[in-house]
Amino acid sequence: MKYFRLIWKNAWRKKIRTSLTILSVFVAFLLFALLSAIGYAFRGGVDVADAQRLIVIHKVSLINPLPMSYLNRIASVEGVQSVTYASWFGGFYQEPRNQFGQFPVDPQAYVDMYPEFNIPDEQLEAFKRNRTGAIVGQELATTYGWQVGDRIPIQATIWTKADGGRTWEFDLEGIFSSDDPRGSTALLLFQHDYFEETRAFAKGTVGWYILRVASGADPIQVANAIDLQFANSPNETKTSTEAAFAQSFMKQYGNIALIVTMILGAVFFTLLLVSGNTMSQSVRERISELAVLKTLGFSDLSVLGIVLSESILIMLMGGLLGLGLGWVLIQGIAQQMAAFLPGVFLSTTAIAGAVAMMLAAGVLAGIFPALKAMRLSIIDALARA
Amino acid sequence: MRGLNQILAVTWLNLRNLPQRVGSSIVAVIGVAAVVLVFAAVLSMAKGFERTMISAGSEDTAIIMRSGSTSELNSGLSNDQTLIIADAPGVLKDGDATVMSAELYVVVDVKKKSSNTDANVPFRGVQLGAFDVRKNVAVVEGRMFETGKNEIIVGRSAQQEFAGLDTGSKIRFGQSEWDVVGAFEAGGSVSESELWTDVRVLQGAYRRGNSFQSVRVKLQSKDSLDVLETALEEDPRISADVLTEKEYYSGQAEPLSEFIKLIGYPLTILMAIGAVFGALNSMYSSVSVRGKEIATLRALGFGPISILFSTMIESTILALVGGALGGAIAYLAFNGFQVSTLNGASFSQVVFDFAVTGDLLIDGLYAALIIGALGGLFPAIRAARLPVAQALREL
Amino acid sequence: MSEILARLDGVSRVYQKGKERVEVLHELNVEIPKGDFIAIMGPSGSGKTTLLNLLGGLDKPTAGTVTVGGAELSSMSNSQLSAWRSTHVGFIFQFYNLLPVLTAHRNVELPLLLTSFSAKERARRAAIALDIVGLADRAKHYPRELSGGQEQRVAIARAIVSDPSLLLCDEPTGDLDRVTADEILRLLQVLNREHGKTIVMVTHDAVAAEFANRTLHCDKGTLEAKEAA
């Protein structure tokens, strides 16, 4: 890389101009990082979904409950390794805007169904033993500053208690984390038994079932078999893989991916204009120097390469800085947004894509000036000077 | 006055030789246009959504739900409770009958036409008073459903956005089949995203017994809300929240609208910062190209202030052109474009249009103005401070 | 002095400017012996710069052949010419043409980037070249920090750093005052007499021409010899 000094020095020819161009690139890639991460959240955790897990919901709508009696019937379907359930509690903590997932579950079965959740054994045991116990995900604990031993009151909006009250209180017995940094832990889990005996209505029902397909069994076949079991009954089911379920849910928000792509498109178009302009000015003002390089014996191609390298270098400097800052900010943002938009994450695919774009943008912004440099006639250039 | 003349003269000169600096100028204009375009496009979603939601709510209709419910879906009222409301003070009566509609809705799966994916659509059971308690609702195609039958009328927006809802078609939800007998319009409001049927039939189909979720009742006057509220508070048989429909829908719109703004404003600010860098770049380049010309003007006696202001004015004008361009594109491309999205609060789809409103466009121009001013300031100072003798000497 | 380094045989150079046909050089025959120091004088537009360009492989004749050091330049491709130039010829221009973003040392090193020498070797050779022109103490200065004469010395150092046999100078003292010009010309003489470089120098300045061994006059595309004093 003996040409690096030449490329570097030329890039910084006009310090203000180069700095401002780098800053423009910086902003563009910072935006890219942030928008990718948010767009990722709208994929609904599709990437973390376990291919062997299926979700069973009421066919008419997610909000219709399913009978508890389905538990054993699902378990008996061929290919089903294990099955458990959860329901949507839908309450809030202190203020209506503090909403997050609260699920009444069968503690051991649920934790077994989601092996990516990590919780110390003694905390899990304490949860199992305590009728009014609950465990929360690390994200929630951090957001609200909860610690094991706290008493957490949740205001129910749907589920009034049999005694007419609305406040459900839980003892925090444990905090769980997720193996996968992309997965969300904005969740509060409590005992289904407590839920069942305390709620005023809809007894004997659950919100949905989660099951694990035995290895070797085809998830789609198992899903169809389950739905067939309950076809034409008062409560028909719709079974899909966790990924498909997450995706169909997020798709309801609309084509977020398209919107993000369009915005980034506008940003990059502008970026190319700015850098392209910088590069063409940079080449225009040193035509005679480039001619001299050629007289010294630098080939036409090497002159093209020198100009393109300059353009790519500027893109990389600004881009990597922007990407870096974006990554740092996302760690904080993901935490803040965990409650209402979980899964904000900058994936490695996105990072690789960004770097590829830096290179591509560097080439695109520099190609016309570089070609001009490559093709310049030494004699004419020197004569003009 | 002489100062102003100088400024105008130099500004005119600057603008006249702008064609020589086309490259840099276009870059600045497009940079600002992109910012305003994205700003207008994203925030028009929030505006459109809000408008759809809020235009639904009238101030002289009260909506009553069980106390503590964050939305209709979470609420539950018994038949007796609806009767209590019907006789409460403050409600408007038409002869002996109260102008009201006790309602209940469920969420059903219908396919979105645009993406062919499932969407949750509100399927609402209403009483005949539903048309009286709301503004501007009318059946515009086919006919009204008959009570006691599995007949539906569909909101116009829902019909456009979702598949299988044409008048005359049959649609199956779960175990039951329904006839689509007509379509209704409701001034473009959120009600048009819904499917309506007789509440008794819905209760039966979905095993809801005799329960409802909400009661909408026409108030005697806008001030009757307090009277009604107090009466219900004092009645031990019912524990309910009383809001005007307008307040209710504003609350429903808030989360999504706030979310869009939460993303939209920072996004715009970041892009604007980028545009400022772009504008600075363009203006610095412009100043350096004009170096000799500026020095000549200074030598002729034009003061540094005229150079400073004229440079800033040039930058601002370029930015405003960009802002107008971005706003125009946003308006032409997005205004009136129909989309639907999931409103978390109601757990169902709301169909709305992008609304590129006048105040958004004006905000966009303000943003452009600021970008132009910031982008021109430092280059302008440099231009004003250019050492005259040196500049004249340089080639 | 009997070996011929460069020769032009029947060289013509014609430019087509729209409908106009301009013949800058007309059937020129020149022989340049190795180790010679030739000055070429003549009015503007007489073709002297074109002659220099042809000798350096920067331009190709419309007719005839150009041969330097045994290599027939007129039949080489552009990339072959680039490669040939880097080792066989050094250029010195009227306006120095140093890269403003590099120090004197780095400017001199520039031609060596095209070789496979190590960084250490490149530094050594550049230092030698700067030493020959007497600017070793200015190695770390940027062109803007140097006087006109010093810049030209750096340019000369750059021209000799890859040890080419032929130096082509286009008005090397055109932008310098008398005293500095004489210093530069004396340096060129040293390069010619002590280092054996063949030098072809185009100049307007009759005094400068006297530093050369002989002068040729270029007029309307032809060359005539005139013995220098």
pLDDT value of position A164: 78
Q: How far is CA C56 from CA A152, A239, A293, C82, in A?
A: 87, 80, 14, 10
C-alpha closest to that of C5 among C79, C66, C57, C53: C66
Q: How far apart are CA B327 and CA B40, in angstroms?
A: 7
Structure tokens at A334: 């993901």
Amino acid (one-letter) located at C82: S
Phi, psi of B142 (to 5 degrees): 65, -140
Q: Which tens digit of pLDDT belongs to each residue from A54-89?
A: 999 988 777 788 999 999 999 999 899 999 999 988
Ranked by mean pLDDT, the top range of A28-32, A245-249, B21-25 is A28-32
Q: What is the mean pLDDT of residues A154-166?
A: 84
Q: Do B109 and A270 touch (CB under 8 A)?
A: no
Q: Which tens digit of pLDDT belongs to each residue from A357-368?
A: 999 999 999 999
A-C CB pairs within 8 A amount to 65
Q: Is B181 helix (H, G, I), strand (E, B) or coil?
A: strand
Q: Where do the structural domains in chain C lie, given as residue ranges?
A: 35-58+82-226
- For residue A382, the chain C residues in CB contact (below 8 A) are 93, 97
Alpha helices in B57-126 (DSSP H): 79-86
**By the 8 A CB rule, do C24 and A345 touch?**
no
Q: How far apart are CA B152 and CA B147, in angstroms?
A: 10
**By the 8 A CB rule, do A18 and A314 touch?**
yes
Sign of the four-CA dihedral C136, C141, C143, C147 = negative
Per-residue pLDDT band at A45 (split at 50, 70, 90): low
Q: How far apart are CA B133 and CA B215, in angstroms?
A: 10
Q: How far apart are CA A350 and CA A36, in angstroms?
A: 7
Q: Which tens digit of pLDDT belongs to each residue from C115-157?
A: 889 999 999 999 999 999 999 999 999 999 999 999 999 999 9
Q: Do A297 and C59 touch (CB under 8 A)?
A: no
**By the 8 A CB rule, do C49 and C201 touch?**
no
Q: Where do the structural domains in chain B lie, given as residue ranges?
A: 2-54+252-393, 68-238
Q: How far apart are CA C67 and CA C86, in angstroms?
A: 16
* Closest partner CB to A96 (pick from B38, B70, B281): B70
pLDDT value of position C228: 40
User: CA angle at residue A134 from A131 to A135, to 5 degrees?
Assistant: 145
Question: Which residues in chain A (19-38) have CB-CB distances under 8 A to chain B?
Answer: 20-21, 23-24, 27-28, 30-31, 34-35, 38
- Other residues' Cβ atoms within 10 Å of the Cβ of residue B265: 14
- pTM equals 0.83
Structure tokens at A201: 């209505």
Q: How far apart are CA B192 and CA B28, in angstroms?
A: 43
pLDDT value of position A248: 75
Q: How far is CA B346 from CA A10, A57, B240, C69, in A?
A: 59, 19, 19, 88
Question: Residue B214: exposed, middle, or buried by beta-carbon count in 10 A (0-12, 13-18, 19+)?
Answer: buried
C-alpha closest to that of A31 among A326, A280, A336, A370: A326
Tokens 């221009």 locate to: C93
First to last CA, chain B: 34
Q: How far apart are CA A9 and CA A24, in angstroms?
A: 20
Q: Which tens digit of pLDDT belongs to each residue from C76-112?
A: 988 899 899 999 999 999 888 999 999 999 999 999 9
DSSP C76-141: --HHHHHHHHHHHEEEE-TT----TTS-HHHHHHGGGGGS---HHHHHHHHHHHHHHTT-GGGTT-
pLDDT value of position B393: 66
At B344, which helix (H) or strand (E)? Answer: none
Q: Do A300 and C82 touch (CB under 8 A)?
A: yes
What pLDDT tens digit does each residue of chain B (395 aa) get?
A: 677 888 888 888 888 878 878 888 898 899 999 999 999 989 998 888 888 888 877 888 999 998 877 788 878 899 999 999 988 888 888 888 889 999 998 888 888 888 888 888 999 999 998 998 887 899 999 999 999 999 999 999 999 999 999 999 999 887 789 999 999 998 888 889 999 999 999 998 888 888 899 999 999 887 888 889 899 888 888 888 899 988 888 888 887 888 888 888 988 999 999 999 999 988 988 888 888 888 888 888 888 888 888 889 999 999 999 999 999 999 999 888 888 888 777 777 888 888 899 999 999 999 999 999 999 999 999 888 877 776 666 54
pLDDT value of position C229: 37
C-alpha closest to that of B364 among B240, B256, B264, B219: B264
How many Å lie between the alpha carbon of C108 and the closest alpha carbon of chain A?
Answer: 11
> B198 - beta bridge partners?
B126
Cβ of residue A269 closer than 8 Å to a chain B Cβ: yes
C21 pLDDT above the threshold of 80: yes
Q: Do C111 and A296 touch (CB under 8 A)?
A: yes
Structure tokens at B87: 């006789």
The structural architecture, per CATH, of the domain C35-58+82-226 is: 3-Layer(aba) Sandwich (3.40)
Which of A29-33, A349-353, B294-298 is the least confident region? B294-298
Look up residue A210 and give its DSSP letter: E
Q: How far apart are CA A187 and CA A185, in angstroms?
A: 5
Q: Do C102 and A6 touch (CB under 8 A)?
A: yes
pLDDT value of position C227: 47
pLDDT value of position A44: 67
Look up residue C174 and give its DSSP letter: T
* Closest partner CB to B277 (pick from A23, A63, A267): A23
Long-range pairs of B253-259 with CB within 8 A, sequence gap ≥ 24: B253/B49, B253/B50, B253/B53, B253/B54, B253/B343, B254/B345, B255/A97, B255/A340, B255/B343, B255/B344, B255/B345, B256/B49, B256/B341, B256/B343, B256/B344, B256/B345, B257/B46, B257/B49, B257/B50, B257/B53, B259/A340, B259/A341
**By the 8 A CB rule, do A170 and A140 touch?**
no
Q: How far apart are CA C28 and CA A229, in angstroms?
A: 101
Decide which of A132 and C43 is more confident: A132
pLDDT value of position B348: 79
What mean pLDDT is reported for chain A? 88
- For residue A2, the chain C residues in CB contact (below 8 A) are 113, 119
pLDDT value of position B95: 84
Q: How far is CA A240 from CA A53, A86, A233, in A?
A: 9, 16, 19
Q: Give me the count of residues in chain B.
A: 395
> What ipTM goes with this model?
0.87
User: CA angle at residue C11 from C6 to C17, to 5 degrees?
Assistant: 130
How many Å lie between the alpha carbon of C106 and the closest alpha carbon of chain A?
Answer: 9
**By the 8 A CB rule, do A54 and A42 touch?**
no
- Other residues' Cβ atoms within 10 Å of the Cβ of residue A209: 23
